[in-house]
Structure 1
Amino acid sequence: MPPSAKETEFAQDQGFPSVNGSRRRQPPPKLKKPVPHYRHLVRWNKDKTPESVEEQQMNQDLATLRHIMDLFLNSRMAEAEAMLAQGVVPVGEGLPIPGAAGAGAGAATTTTASEKAAEATAISNNNKDDASSVTSSSAPSTTPSSANKDEKSEKKSASQSSSTGSSKKGGSKEVRSMYFELAKGIIQGLRALVTFDPFEIEAGMKAFEMAIKTADKQRKGSMLGLGSVKAVGSFVVGTIGAGSFKGMTRVQKHAELIYAESTILRSLLSVLYHLDVWMVVEECINLRHAFTIIQGLKSFMDSAESDLKNGKSIDHYQIDEHLVSGVTLSYSLYNIIISFLPDILVKMLQFIGFPSDRDWGMALLSACGDWDPMAPPETAKEHAERLASSANDGIRRQFCDMVPIIFQVIVSSFIPMNHIDLNYAQMINDYNLERYPDSPFFLFFKGRHLQVTSRLDEAVATYKSVQVEEPRWHQLGHIFVFEELMIAMMQNDHDKACENSRQLLKESRWSKCCFRYLTAVTGYERGDQGEKKKIDNLMEKVEGGMQKVAGMNLFFENFCARKSKRYMKEGHLLLPSYDFMLLWNTYDMMPPKVLQKALENISTEVRRLQALLPAKMKDRESQPLAAKDQTIEAFAGGMLGGMFSNKNAIIKDSKVADYENFYDDYCLAFFLQGLVAYHTAFFPEETFNKEMCNLAIESFETVFRYAPLMKDDTYTYYFAHYYKAKIWIHQGRLDEAQTRFKYLLGLSNTTLIGLPGLVGGKGKNSLELFVLLKVHSGLLDIETARVAAANGGASLHGSSIRSDSIRSSK
């Protein structure tokens, strides 16, 4: 029988802890395999042997690029882009300032490059051109894995004594560096993401194509790509062995890495640009080809680590901090991202050789920065040594730090994750803020940390402190405006929310569909009848602003489009701000005072709707909740049938005059009431609130009772199941929770993937993917809870993580 048809009465007084556990600071995971510390393998030119011109050029490029990246991260984008646009200074044409000769010199550059950068900065202040003017590496579009005969001939004839490529242009030589081209691609790709402009995306693709071509000229001859044939071959055969990399020069290893990285990044932009499902398939082949290179480099470093442990010298392998941070970042991301996919897809990808171990991937990134969540707080001396360490100067080191922070303070807000430790994320972020105090990136992470720990006012103050003055990066500032909008909606500040949504609609290109809807609903919530015509016009345009990614509509845009249709049809919406906030999981961030205010507002609507409920339906509420005739779960095996014994009578008795979608709103109101009550009952590190827990259960069961009568908002039914299963996890009823999750995943149905459709509704709901991701994470929660129970309970007692108290502001 389906879960709700045969469950016993909920034991409300048993199993709950007196004080809620923390979802913000959890024990680190127990890893299935050891984590390598590749940063200890850095051994290059220990004996100061003379370097080739090719290697000297790469060292100089890396030193200059390190300085450029420091400028960019510290909100000096114009200077960084100007220096990058000036291109490479060949070895010998400019005198390196101290430290430029070493690849680890963080802020070093050449005198000539600095002078040119200063000149270019002055020019750029008067010339605000489009994205392609800065990305001087843009070239005609080609496939990432293609290398035609002309390119091979050019490579064979190119000088092997330089790490840069040359091309004739107006009688002069334009020198290219593979690292400079990669940096141009990354900056242009980031601009494409913050603007979501097709022209910017295309420019980013072309920039990565130039990086691919430039790196390809520096690869070892036997490793040359053979276009699609090579990509398909590597897809079938698997990875490249470690021995292939042992015979390479240091520059050739870097060329392989950049070739793979550029292929990956170009493929991701291609999926956004072409909006075609078939393009996804083609790019998957390119991603597999890139992975063979990354896997081979990892195998090479594993072999070097084994040699080091056995007392052998590894100096001749010429491993530097830039190679270490690059391989660490790429291989970790493959592990982490694939782990978020549904189980059936993960197994398919593992079958063809892709890795999937999120905890191990996170630990590998931590090892790159020598971070340990269980280590005692650093002394002043240790902290100074960390800041001064050359091992921290890997060109990709800051990205290795960003990924754990992003997953802890951003991704975990949308998809519940295990082993969250926000203090640990804060420790990493504080270190980077010390290096880059004006960085919009690390300041954003600081604001998000405050936000997800329910310190909303402090988060707003942090967001307001960020100034993105460079016009070309104005869109980056919209991230902060959007977060302020979400906080204003949480705090029921409709005026501020309306102001921010209007700014985003006017200036941002991210999602016109979403911003039109938000501008309309925040104006609607203010209740100003003088704005009704504007709200109506915006609602009519919501659906027209939808866009596709990889041939599919975005789930939150589907949501906005369906709600706008409802408004145009009925002229009203129920609690639209609280409804929309479900998509951004803001209820996890609300402090108790804000939750209490939300409960008051929602309960007011609950009482209003209860007054409209037909009397005959109220009489039916006294009957026990049963699958037979009160819910849509009518058949064995968990199938949702919608067949109850007195169906026609119920439908006749349920009608509400002039309110076609009454039961959609009725179930939505009760679900939101249950959701807020759930978060109040289990607020982290606070006393368990039994009264609120009971209210949540009763509210969810009301949703189950009236779900057969819903027409559109069927997502409330699935979310109600999800949160009731979460209550069972808190209570320790893991088997029941697992049964409920599997029921939602459809594993007991004839469909393997996808939620079962409600007969009264229209099949799939607009938040189906969102529900599935949460349920997938819920199953991991159960697994973690079982392991903890088997070990006698896990806690952070006695651990020495930096533990300034994470408590909410009440």
Structure 2
Amino acid sequence: MTIRQVDGTERGEIKEKIIDQPCESFDDEIFLDATDDGVTIKETQLIEEIQEEQPSLEQSMEEVTRVLELALSNQFEEAGQIADKWAEVSLYHALGAATLTFFKGVLTLEHAQIKNTMDSLKHVIDLYQIKKYQSNSVARVVWKPNYNNYTEDQIHAELVYAEAQLMIALMTFLQDQNLISLVKGALRIRSCFQTYKECNNILNQRVSWSSEKVKRHFESGVRMGLGTFNLMISHLPSKVLRLLEFVGFSGNRSIGFTELEASTAITDGLRSPLAKLIMMAYFCYIEHLFGLGNEDLTLVTNILSSAMEKYPNSAFFILFAGRINQLEGKLSEAILNFEKCIAIQNQWKQLHNICYWELLWCYTIRCNWKKAAEYADILRKECAWSPATYTYQTASYYYMSHEAEPDEKLRAQAFELFKQVPGLRIRYAGKTIPAEKFAITTSERFVSGEKRIIAPVLEFSYIWNIFAIMEKDKTLIDPMLKLIEKQLDSLKSEIDDSEKPLDDYLDLILMKGMCLRSMGFPYQAEQCFLEIIDNEKRLARDTYLAPHAAMELGLTYVRLNDLPAARRWLEKSRKDYTGYLLETMVHFRVHCAMRNIKIMEKQSASIPPLTLEEEETSSLDSTPSLPSEPLPLAEPIMPTGKGQSSFFELASKLQARFSFGFGASYDDSQVKL
């Protein structure tokens, strides 16, 4: 184990020496129980020296609170200087410095930065080994520990250890993709989870605290950690969840929210702002990307409002303000916030890349391909997260620009970029991310000889759940729908040839179904999804379309409150298909849909049945009556954009615009307004 020793009389002149102890390597000792023994005489002497040099626990937490405040106020360099001042001897200062490097590592994914992050986190573990409560592990099996015998430094050391373990595990997945590293990462996460449970026992069982402030700092961290674990584990598909429960993990979504909210409520707790960031990241990104896109933003909006009162110019919170605007369909406000986030600070340009990503989607929704291409190209050149994805998107926007206004130069640029995509693959946790795998497969197909790619931007919009954003403002859907109809018209000649595969046609039908459902026409969307299922055998290449259509059928029936049908189709999408592109996305979204169905069924079961008298009254009350004024018609539905057509004119125009089957029309009774 590597231990840093401090000598010298002046605190400002800290010199580092390395003492090599004949004990386990870092990779071995990191899995030891938090209270294993084995302290040498040299280590004991070192503890005494360090205790003389370092600030007290309360002083450390006050300074690290200041570090966090500076970071949230965009003063990253100043925050780093305060954390580095005592990072060699103070566990909390070391954690603060490591957390800053961790954020940089996650945002850049550059190998040099990841290595710096790992070195900083390993130093935190080294200090923990010195400061932890030293007990006999054999005796621990026989007698439960008395947490009142721990000093408060030792108690907080356990919490810091858990947080460092979690960051190390995440960095391990990003740093190295071999099997041994993945196993080590999984074991570290398990060790971290067990340590958080131990900290919860300390919180519940310890009686004496030197001050309420020390206890609140500890409680805010315990609740944040347990809440995060519960929330993330509960979000995993049921098969993965059962496996994790078998090896000792458990997760409850409601408990996760409760614990995180409790952490944010401890306003003077050190981790309270971090708990707020976690809550916002979950609702704004995890819930949207891996869920159904129907998240309730009330809670996260309230959290953001309270955070903005204290940190009005924080790049982090301005970013989340823009993201919430975007999820609500308020693109103009979102663009202003993302641009403000970019302009407000230059110390961490890694945050700019997140804003470029969001701006890219804002302009994609507006069908402004050239502007979206500008941001995709910036990401392609500056961001290391997924070069294949950014290159594919840049190429797609060039291709869509060429389709809108023919320009052979743009098409040639797109073709050259598509050729580069397969060679830019990156693996995380041993896997290629689904969107990148899709981009590689599509690019290989395009450059290998097909020379045709159908609306690539729409497919990526579907993968990133962009249709859920467009649904919030239906005026955004009409340009997309017109684009789809134009593409479908170009494929009509292929439909009647039974020998030809219908991959491109059915791909567009899936996108059309998404648009129709977003516009409030679930019955017409149902026809689109059923058409894909009926013609599944004519899919030669895009086999993912059938399971996705089955999933979307299930989600459509959820909206229609036909829960038995929804269950059947969702189960079909999950169980009847395997080995296709974007399979992970289906499993995550089906898991969320099943969770929502259970909630709806419980709510329905809790409503008592009506008495005979109530049923008669209800039936009388439900007699249809003519409205005193004509019902307003949704603006985006109208081809003219004036919203003055009568119902029958509207139905006629819808019939002309939307066709089902192989170009066949449907009767007016299918139009549900």
TM range (shorter): 0.7 to 0.9
- How high is the TM-score relative to the length of structure 2? 0.78
1:654 counterpart SS class: coil
The residue number in structure 2 matching 1:216 is 129
8 Å CA contact retained: 2:318, 2:341: yes
Q: Is the Cα contact below 8 Å between 2:166 and 2:192 reproduced in 1?
A: yes
Shift of 1:212: 0.7
Question: How far did residue 766 of structure 1 move?
Answer: 2.0
Q: Residue type of the partner of 1:506?
A: K
1:777 aligns with 592
The corresponding residue for 2:304 is 429
CA drift of 1:475 comes to: 2.0
* Match of residue 606, structure 2, among 781, 791, 799: 791
Which of 374, 381, 395 is 1:520 aligned to? 395
Q: CA deviation at 1:241?
A: 8.8
Paired letter, 1:583:
I
Matches of 2:83 and 2:511, distance apart in 1: 51
Per-residue deviation, 1:664: 1.1
After TM superposition, the structure 1 = structure 2 runs for residues 64-213 of structure 1, keeping only pairs within 5 Å, are 64-85=63-84, 87-88=85-86, 175-213=88-126
Q: Is the 8 A contact 2:313 2:344 kept in 1?
A: no
Contact 1:455 1:809 in 2 (8 A): no
C-alpha distance 525-410 of structure 1, shift in aligned 2 (>3 A): same
Residue 537 of structure 2: aligned partner: 708
Aligned to 1:557: 436
Instruction: Please point out which of 450, 453, 463 is paired with 2:338.
Output: 463
Question: Does residue 465 of structure 2 align to residue 585 of structure 1?
Answer: yes
Partner in structure 2 of residue 245 of structure 1: 147
Instruction: Write the letter of the residue equivalent to 1:270.
Output: T
Kept in 1, the 8 Å contact 2:111–2:175? The answer is: yes
Answer yes or no: is the 8 Å Cα contact 1:401–1:428 preserved in 2: yes
CA contact (8 A) 2:292 2:589 kept: no
Counting only pairs closer than 5 Å after superposition, residues 339-488 of structure 1 correspond to structure 2 as 339-370=234-265, 391-416=266-291, 420-467=295-342, 473-488=348-363
Partner residue of 1:274 out of 176, 200, 207: 176
Give the SS at the match of 1:667.
helix
Change (3 A) 1:721 1:445: same
Question: C-alpha distance in 2, partners of 1:595/1:254?
Answer: 52
CA contact (8 A) 2:54 2:89 kept: no
Aligned pair partner of 1:717 in 537, 546, 565: 546
Residues 222 and 318 from structure 1, CA distance in 2 versus in 1: closer, same or farther, beyond 3 angstroms? farther
State how far apart, in whole Å, the 2-side matches of 1:665 and 1:579 are: 11
Are 1:678 and 2:517 an aligned pair?
A: yes
Deviations 1:154-212 (A, max 9, x none): xxxxxxxxxxxxxxxxxxxxx52111111121111111111111221121111100011
SS at match of 2:570: helix
Counterpart residue number, 2:190 = 288
Secondary structure in 2 matching 1:447 = helix
Answer whether contact 2:166 2:188 (CA < 8 A) is retained.
Answer: yes
2:377 aligns with one of 493, 497, 502: 502
Distance change in 2, residues 1:241/1:415 (3 Å) = farther
C-alpha distance after superposition, 1:770-792 (max 9, x if no partner): 11111111111110110111123
Asked if 1:766 corresponds to 2:585, the answer is: no
CA distance in 2, matches of 1:365, 1:179: 21
Q: Is the 8 A contact 2:550 2:572 kept in 1?
A: no
Distance in 1 (alpha carbons) for counterparts of 2:205 and 2:351 = 42
Cα offset for 1:267? 1.4
Residue 699 of structure 1, aligned match among 497, 515, 528: 528
Whole-angstrom distance in 1 between the partners of 2:460 and 2:144:
50
Match of 1:738 in 2: 567
> 2: distance between equivalents of 1:612 and 1:243?
74
Matched, 1:605 2:487: yes
Local SS of the residue matching 1:392: coil
- Partner amino acid, structure 1, of 2:482: E
Matches within 5 A, 1:252-331: 252-303=154-205, 319-331=214-226
What are structure 1's unaligned runs of at least 5 residues? 1-51, 89-136, 138-174, 225-229, 308-312, 371-390, 618-652, 656-661, 682-691, 750-754, 757-763, 794-807
What's the counterpart of residue 128 of structure 1?
Answer: none
Name the CA shift for 1:245/1:809 in 2 (closer, same or farther; >3 Å): farther
Task: Sort the Cα spacing of 1:257 and 1:441 in 2 relative to 1 into closer, same or farther, 3 A.
Answer: same
TM-score by length of 1: 0.65
* 1:468 to partner: Cα distance: 5.7
Query: Partner of 2:13 in structure 1?
Result: none
1:485, distance to aligned residue in structure 2 (A): 0.3
1:273 Cα deviation after fit: 0.7
Deviation at 1:246, TM superposition (A): 2.5
By how many angstroms is 1:732 displaced?
Answer: 2.3
Q: Give the residue type in structure 2 aligned to 1:355.
A: S
Given that residues 242 and 299 in structure 1 are in contact (C-alpha distance below 8 angstroms), is that contact kept between their aligned partners in structure 2?
no
> Residues of 2 paired with 1:546 and 1:809: CA distance?
43
Match of 1:338 in 2: 233
* Preserved CA contact (<8 Å) 1:241 1:300: no
State the Cα distance separating 1:63 from its structure 2 match. 1.4
8 A contact 2:83–2:93 mirrored in 1 = yes
Alpha-carbon distance change, 518 to 435 in structure 1, aligned in 2, over 3 angstroms: same
Counterpart of 2:660?
Answer: none
Q: What does residue 611 of structure 2 align with?
A: none
CA contact (8 A) 1:418 1:780 kept: no
Report the AA paired with residue 666 of structure 1: Y
CA RMSD for the aligned pairs? 2.6
Distance in 1 between residues matched to 2:455 and 2:315, nearest whole Å: 33
| Post-superposition offset of 1:293 | 2.0
The Cα of 1:423 is off from its aligned counterpart by 1.7
Counterpart AA for 2:437: N
- Whose RCO is larger (CA < 8 A, sep 6+)? 1
Structure 1 residues 741 and 351 mapped into 2: Cα distance closer, same or farther (>3 Å)?
A: same
Q: Distance in 2 between matches of 1:482 and 1:809?
A: 29
Residue 174 of structure 2 contacts residue 429 of structure 2 at CA under 8 Å; is this kept in 1?
yes
Report how many residues are paired: 554
Change (3 A) 1:577 1:610: same
Residue 223 of structure 1 deviates from its aligned partner by: 7.2
Contact in 2 for aligned 1:488/1:497 (Cα 8 Å) = yes
Q: How far apart in 2 are the matches of 1:223 and 1:447?
A: 52
Cα 1:316–1:466 shift into 2, 3 Å: closer
Q: Aligned residue for 1:729?
A: 558
1:527-557 residue CA offsets vs partner (Å, 9 max, x unmatched): 1211232222111110111101121111111
Question: What amino acid maps onto 2:469 in structure 1?
Answer: M
Distance (Å, rounded) in 1 between the aligned partners of 2:445 and 2:293: 37
- The corresponding residue for 2:412 is 533
For the 8 Å contact 1:242–1:303, the answer to whether it is kept is: no
* Partners of 1:245 and 1:271 in 2: CA distance: 34
Indicate the percent of aligned positions where both proteins have the same amino acid: 22
In 2: Cα distance, 1:79 partner to 1:414 partner = 34
Rate the CA distance shift 1:418–1:580 in 2: closer, same or farther, 3 A.
Answer: closer
Q: Hey, which of these two has a bigger chunk of helix by percent? A: 2
Check the 8 A contact 1:75/1:468 in 2, yes or no. no
Cα distance in 2 between the residues matched to 1:63 and 1:560: 47
How far the C-alpha of 1:278 sits from its partner, in A, is 3.1
